[in-house]
Amino acid sequence: MFSMRYFFAATLLSFLAINICFGQILNVEKNRVKGDSANYFLGTIGLSFNANNQSLTDNGTEKSFVGFSANSDVAYFSTYHSFLLVGQLQYTATSETAINSAGYGHFRINWLRKNVISYENFVQIQYDQGRGMRSRQLGGGGVRFRIYREEKSSLFAGTGIMREREEWERPGEEDGLVELSLWKSSSYVTSRLQLRENIAFGSIVYFQTGYDPDRDFFRHRVSADVNILVNLTSKLALQTSASITYENRPVVPIPKFVYRVTNGIQLNF
């Protein structure tokens, strides 16, 4: 039977996550195109929950599942630059396993944000307990291009270089820690479209690649996020998000392709 202590722990941690982490990049991307105003803050808070008992164990008994996802983001726009702090925390548990969690925090500065060609610096920390990723730290910089921008739609692209360091645990091995540190190129395309007055669509696609000299091959990563917001009021919206990630050569033997779909609410401030 599903342990209630996991349920209450997940609930508490999810609400704490709203206050200590910062959410999806897509939610901030739409704020970059808000005219030429300066010296203001923008942000969002999101929370989603799902639970089911549709799965069965190997002996045919019921398996319960509960999951929470909390995200928020904060952006400050000065006269010439923007400062973004984004991230997410997730907690999942089943009647057979303890809580697993994953999360990230991402800080980015966009220098000369109003120019057609601007510049960026960024740092990120990340972990994924369920997949065995103890930590991922990266930092770098690049150039951002404004391809198209109007009130209801926009298209940007960016490219740069970063240094990435990872620590992974090999599945089923207590002392199977694998460390990796690489230089990588990092490129992205991000778009936003106001479909209707109260419905907005956003997407961002990343391609990151780097040469691993210790193993004599390239490691590629493709990731994409899609977000649909349905505004109920000026402050409250329904949010549907989907994300996928593909790595051609995972550091440890885990699935190359992972995906996640969530539904929840979002509070704008």
**Percent of the chain scored above 90 by pLDDT?**
46
Torsion angle of C-alpha atoms 166, 167, 173, 174, degrees rounded to 10: 180
Q: Which CATH class is domain 4-268?
A: mainly beta
Q: pLDDT band for 20, please (50, 70, 90 cuts).
A: very low
Length of the chain: 269
Q: Do 269 and 237 form a contact (C-beta atoms < 8 A)?
A: no
Mean pLDDT on 140-155: 94
Of 147, 224, 202, the C-alpha closest to 29 is 202
Q: Are 213 and 182 in contact (CB under 8 A)?
A: no
Q: Over pLDDT 70: what percentage of the chain?
A: 77
Instruction: Kindly tell me if the per-residue pLDDT of 55 is higher than 60.
Output: no
pLDDT band at residue 159 using 50, 70 and 90 as cut-offs: very high
Position 9 pLDDT exceeds 60: no
**DSSP bridge pairs for 221:** 208, 247
Helix (H) or strand (E) holding 8: helix 4-20
pTM greater than 0.75: yes
How do 153-169 and 133-149 pair as beta strands? Answer: antiparallel
At 104, the amino acid letter reads: Y
pLDDT tens-digit series, residues 196-210: 889 999 999 999 999
- Comparing 5-19, 175-189, 228-242, which segment has the lowest mean pLDDT? 5-19
| Residue 157: burial class (beta carbons within 10 Å; 0-12, 13-18, 19+) | middle
Alpha-carbon torsion 213, 214, 217, 222, what sign?
Answer: negative
Among 123-132, 165-174, 188-197, the least confident range: 165-174
Domain positions in the chain: 4-268
Report whether 80 contacts 114 (CB < 8 A): yes
* CA–CA gap between residue 230 and residue 48 (Å, rounded): 15
